[in-house]
Structure 1
Amino acid sequence: MAAIGGIDHKLIAVPVVAASLGLSAYALYRLHCANSKVAVPGSDVYESTKLLSEYLVFHFGTPEELIPYPFGPKDALDFPKRCAELCLKHFKPKDIGQSRALDIGCAVGRSTFELARGVNEVIGIDYSQSFIDAADILCHQGQMPYKLVQEGDIFSEAVATVPKDIDRTKVSFEQGDACALRSDLGTFDVVLAANLVCRLHHPKYFLDRLQQLLPKPGSILVLTGPYTWLHQFTDKSLWLGGYVDANGKAIKGFQGLQQELGAYFGLVEQVDMPFFIRETARKNQWTVAHATVWRRK
């Protein structure tokens, strides 16, 4: 997950410095992160108790907890589960050997757990330590109590529960930066990045790494995003879309993804996926993410 804060504008010059040293921009960026305290833009917002509660109910809440009314966008519920199902719909293992999936930007882990229904090993990574701590509790204990905001300082008790038919021993979680993932992660058959790319401080670094994470032809990549390009997460010079170029042409996020991924991945499917985030009993967010499925060439 990305975080709020100032951008280190020295990083914009990374590709130039990298070329002079004979390194890839990604490799030099990892070196920079390892040797300095990089304040990742947007990170603070993801460490609040309020947001942790919102994400626990977003991932594990019952329909009655999320929309306690006879009306509302019920088709927008269970977004993390639907993301995993979209991955597994397209993942067709060629043999019965070990299969691996990566859920990057996993938040509190619902998609990570759901991927374990069809994959032998799943790793969930998020920038937020509080999200990862919660996901670890869910992984080891199967459930986690939390407080659900009703209004103001009024809360109700709730419990996030991992479905009992999921084998949690297949799942592990760790804190990490999607733009500077550790070099020894290995390779995967499936990568899911839900609502992540437009929250990254260097989205191209993440997209460039995907060809290494998914080297095998036929491997599946699923990206979702509302394309809400914001200055507090990403310097405008690094946006993949949401801007007008020098020729007056509007460049959208999907076009940016096609340009970055097209050499190594083929587009398999695209679909609009609504999701619903509950803030209080009466204030909520309804958003439509653009989901794209890509297959490694």
Structure 2
Amino acid sequence: MNLINNQNVTPQLNGLSVDEKRAELKSYFHNTWTTYESLFALINNDEAYYLRPETLRHPLIFYFGHTATFFINKLLLGKYINKRVNTKLEAVCAVGVDEMSWDDLNSEHYDWPNVDEVREYRHQVFALVNNLIDTMEISLPIKQDSLAWVILMGCEHERIHLETSSVIMRMLPLACLTQPSAVDEQWTSCTHFSVAPENQLLAVAEQPIVLGKKSTDETYGWDNEYGELSVDVSAFSASKYLVSNQEFLAFIDAGGYKKPHYWSEEGQNWLSFTKAEMPRFWRNNNGEYVQRNLLNEMPLPLNWPAEVNYLEAKAFCHWKSEQTKTNIAMPTEAQWHCLVNNVSDNEEQAPANINLARYASSCPVDEFSTGDFYDVTGNVWQWNESAIDGYEGFKVHPLYDDFSTPTFDGKHNLIKGGSWISTGNETLASSRYAFRRHFTQHAGFRYVENLDGKIPLTPVNRYETDVEVCQQLESHYGEQHLSVENYSQQVSQLLFSKVKALGANTDKLLNLGCSVGRTAYELSEYFQHIDAVDFSARYIQFGVQLQQQKTLRYTNVISGDIQSFHEVSLKALALNDNADHIVFSQGDASNLKPMFNGYDAILVEHALEKSYQPKQLLATLSQRLNKQGLLFVLTDHQYSAQHTEKENWLGGLKVNGENVIGLDGLHEKLAEEFTFLEAQPLTRVIKQNQCTFTVTTTEMSVWQRKS
């Protein structure tokens, strides 16, 4: 629900005038950019940009540069621009963090830029995007394959980090931030508080709910919002208010953090690790609790919402169930939408602490009502019992294929409703964001009583079903097809045979374009350390999953809707003993951080694919190899050779309107710094369904760095 007449409201995709829509997009981009910079202007010394108050996140200097880098990366990937603005900075600030195991957050591995460099970089990117908006073609309504959609994607991405960056700032020492009296009014906290109202459960009638954003919806959406899920929601009761600090304090006073039986196994492990005794933004000051807001501390405001992670909220619900002898839980996604349906459709008048329109903090839980319930949207995000998954019909966006899929693992729970700093897409009821259950956001919860005693959860699909991903998994981990040996095994065996024949060292290997990881696992038998890098978390997550959980599951189409189900394990592949030799990293192979160096061998898988920028990739390879180090380059022979225009581009051609380096150009470029040794063909078979296979001839060329 939005407060209209506010520049933080995400634009409509339709309209009658292209000129008016261009002006609207430009205004939204400017507002997004200046709001983000206004937040970072609260930091009063450059040293604070490099602190890490949240060990599961990068320092703030990363996020200051990251959102601008995002624009450049997506514009390059979509071929709307053809060169980078600042190659080094864009390598360091490219990949964010979802606190997953492959995120190497050792600060010594990052050569962070200085603050003025990032400011100048942001100025350059702003000018570039601004010019694109002025000159791009616009068709209405705006569709997902248009440049205007990419501009909106960049804006909404920056608005996400407006929220996540403010959480990190809230963890900085107050001395690092400007005092409230000296800041813009939009960063002023709420100041009034008192005792909390007594919470109560209100009945919600049974009703059918259809979840999912339609393709005809008139606002920007992330991929996980589209599709459809129909749910018949049974009658339940929901708390009138969000759980207040006062209500949560009763749980603490009852020994809630010290009684393991209230906590899930995951919660107990988190407690053991963190030694937490209270919510993250509370502090015990000589027996009196105080709460940290963005720019100030204050005596614990008892009638403000308790801001906790899912594990803390779940423990509270277990305690509340014990106290009331009822079944208390957080709402599911469908139940939360039932509360939204009970609210008036008159969004113009719907009051809420959201969109930076009220306070730069949460506020009393009884200040903003929408019908019978308070804070259905706004104030703080509300944890859900539902783990995020794709709806039926889910499809990734080709320019951001790993926005959602890494979270479809049953370990990321939805947060709904938005917070005081939620803007743009985040304020819509259709938005779907999810975090690991131990993670801190501006998030609290309300509770429900399930009258039938069961939490009505929709199962998370633990079998990967995305067709393209499953084809990759089958290609890497599947059985032989058409009497052709598994492709990853072919690659690893051929590579090691050349290493052995040449007497090369086997201490350290870099595997670029590792996809779902099988080749890295095969090579781990021979090399002491392997860095496996892929551009997309959509693929690399499966290598990580296999390393962590020892198994992964996927499906294959047999015919029509009939599928086969597959489970892969490290033990069955006889790869278990060496899995810890591999470090998986998400990154742009064409623009890696300097830490990736000192290798005895580098394997570049399918170097001519469009996700690479071959010129930049090849220019850095020799720098990452030790002297006499070996380079193995896999390339596909198959290219559509309908030449529309010849062009001298690294010895390549312009094919179907796109610059491609071509095999001749690849070899010509490599010969500048490498000695060509030999090349051998390989055959790759990808199973489309039970009866259809794609057979591709590839080439592995072997090169040695010149001394």
The TM-score bracket by the shorter chain reads: 0.7 to 0.9
1:154 has 2:562 as partner: yes
Letter in 2 for 1:210: L
Note the C-alpha offset of 1:263.
2.1
Tell me the residue number matched to 1:60.
477
Name the CA shift for 1:207/1:103 in 2 (closer, same or farther; >3 Å): same
Checking the alignment, whether the CA contact within 8 Å between 1:198 and 1:229 is kept in structure 2 is no
What TM-score comes out, normalization by structure 1 length? Answer: 0.76
Residue identity matched to 1:105: G
TM-superposed CA distance for 1:259, in Å, is 1.6
- Within a 5 Å distance, the mapping from 1:107-118 to structure 2 comes to 107-118=515-526
Amino acid at match of 1:82: Q
- Given that residues 270 and 291 in structure 1 are in contact (C-alpha distance below 8 angstroms), is that contact kept between their aligned partners in structure 2? yes
> What is the alpha-carbon distance in structure 2 between the residues aligned to residue 78 and residue 182 of structure 1?
32
Tell me, in whole angstroms, the C-alpha distance in 2 between the residues paired with 1:62 and 1:173: 24
Matches of 1:238 and 1:149, distance apart in 2: 43
Q: CA deviation at 1:90?
A: 2.0
Matched to 1:161, the amino acid is: S
**CA deviation profile, 1:48-91 (whole Å, cap 9, x unmatched):** 8211111111101112xxx4xxxx3x23x311111112221122
Paired with 1:238 and 1:176, the residues of 2 have a C-alpha distance of 29
Aligned pairs for 1:179-190 (under 5 A) are 179-190=590-601
CA distance in 1, matches of 2:538, 2:474: 15
* CA displacement 1:33-58 (0-9 Å, x = unmatched): 58676x9x965568782111111111
Alignment of 1:115-126 (within 5 A): 115-126=523-534
Change (3 A) 1:196 1:45: farther
Q: Does 1:128 align with 2:539?
A: no
Q: How many Å separate the matches in 2 of 1:239 and 1:280? A: 38
2:94·2:587 contact (CA, 8 Å) conserved in 1? Answer: no
- Return closer, same or farther for 1:237/1:158 CA change in 2, 3 Å cut-off: farther
- The answer to whether structure 1 residue 283 and structure 2 residue 692 are counterparts is yes
Partner of 1:21: none
Matched residue, 2:632? 222
Contact preservation (8 Å) 1:242, 1:252? yes
SS in structure 2 opposite 1:222?
Answer: strand
8 Å Cα contact 2:633-2:702 kept in structure 1:
yes
Q: Tell me the residue number matched to 2:619.
A: 208
Q: Is the 8 A contact 2:632 2:701 kept in 1?
A: yes
Whole-Å separation in 2 of the counterparts to 1:133 and 1:278: 21
User: Hey, what's the Cα distance between the residues in 2 that align with 1:43 and 1:241?
Assistant: 28
* Other structure's SS at 2:704 match: strand
CA distance in 2, matches of 1:227, 1:42: 24
Structure 1 residue 284: Cα displacement: 1.8
Superposed displacement of residue 199, structure 1: 2.6
Give the whole-Å Cα distance in 2 for the aligned partners of 1:151 and 1:53.
Answer: 15
Partner of 1:23: none
Greater RCO (Cα-Cα under 8 Å, separation 6 or more): 1
Render the CA deviation track for 1:261-297: whole Å, top value 9, x for unaligned: 1122111111111110111112221010122011112
Structure 2 residue runs of 5 or longer lacking an equivalent are 1-72, 96-121, 126-153, 158-396, 406-464
| Within-5 A mapping of 1:30-179 | 30=91, 43-44=399-400, 49-63=466-480, 67=481, 72=482, 74-75=483-484, 77-92=485-500, 99-162=507-570, 163-165=573-575, 166-179=577-590
Aligned to 1:194: 605
- Cα displacement (A) at 1:198: 3.2
Q: Equivalent of 1:272, from 656, 681, 700?
A: 681
SS in 2 for 1:190: strand
- SS of match in other structure, 1:184: coil
Aligned length in residues: 263
1:9-29 alpha-carbon deviations (Å, 9 max, x no partner): 251xx5xx88xxxxxxx5476
- Classify the secondary structure of the residue corresponding to 1:84: helix
Distance 1:175-1:237 versus aligned 2 partners, 3 A rule: farther
Q: CA separation of 1:161/1:91 partners in 2, compared to 1, >3 Å: closer, same or farther?
A: same
Instruction: Describe the superposition over 1:134-156 as per-residue Cα deviations: whole angstroms up to 9, x where unpaired.
Output: 11011123221111221222211
Q: CA deviation at 1:120?
A: 0.0
**Residue equivalent to 1:248:** none
TM normalised by structure 2 equals 0.34
Asked if 1:8 is matched to 2:80, the reply is yes
Instruction: Supply the distance in 1 between the matched residues of 2:648 and 2:490 (Cα, whole angstroms).
Output: 29
Higher strand share: 1
8 Å Cα contact 2:504/2:600 also seen in 1 = no
Q: Matches of 1:140 and 1:238 in 2, distance apart?
A: 46
Give, in whole Å, the separation in 2 of the partners of 1:268 and 1:10: 33
Cα displacement (A) at 1:164:
2.1
Greater displacement, 205-214 / 154-163: 154-163
8 Å Cα contact 1:202-1:238 kept in structure 2: no
Q: What amino acid sits opposite 1:85 in the alignment?
A: Q
SS at structure 1 position matched to 2:564? strand
Letter in 1 for 2:552: M
Partners of 1:130 and 1:263 in 2: how far apart? 34
Share of identical aligned residues, percent?
Answer: 23
* Alpha-carbon shift at residue 203 of structure 1 (Å): 0.7
Please identify, of 270-279 and 86-95, the stretch whose mean Cα deviation from structure 2 is larger.
86-95
- 1:293 partner amino acid: V
Question: Which secondary structure does the structure 2 equivalent of 1:106 belong to?
Answer: coil
In structure 1, distance between residues paired with 2:477 and 2:514: 13
With over 3 angstroms needed to count, the CA separation of the structure-2 counterparts of 1:31 and 1:130, relative to structure 1, is closer
Equivalent position of 1:254 in the other structure: 663
Residue type matched to 1:7 in 2?
A: K
Answer yes or no: is the 8 Å Cα contact 1:84–1:115 preserved in 2. yes
The residue that corresponds to 2:292 in the other structure is none
Aligned to 1:293: 702
Aligned partners of 1:257 and 1:296: how far apart in 2? 15
Question: Take 2:541 and 2:558, find their aligned partners in 1: how far apart are those partners?
Answer: 24
